[in-house]
C-alpha cells in the first residue's frame, strides 16, 4: 500500500522522487469523512 501512495505522490508532483522518503508510518482506521491523509515534513 505504501508503494502505491509513494508513486501517487511523485505523479502528482508532491515530491520529486520517492527515494527521498526516509521514514513512514501506516495505520488504518474508520473515520467520517473517510479518505487518505498525508502529512509530509522536511528533515
User: DSSP per residue over the chain, as a string?
Assistant: -HHHHHHHHHHTTS-S-GGG-----------SS----------
Residue 36, all three cell numbers: 487518505
- pLDDT tens, 1-43? 889 989 999 999 988 999 988 888 888 888 888 888 888 888 7
Q: Whole-prediction pTM value?
A: 0.66
pLDDT at 17 (0 to 100): 93
Amino acid at each position: 500500500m505504501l508503494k502505491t501512495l509513494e508513486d501517487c505522490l511523485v505523479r502528482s508532483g508532491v515530491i520529486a522522487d520517492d527515494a527521498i522518503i526516509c521514514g513512514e508510518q501506516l495505520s488504518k482506521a474508520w473515520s467520517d469523512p473517510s479518505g487518505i491523509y498525508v502529512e509530509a515534513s522536511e528533515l
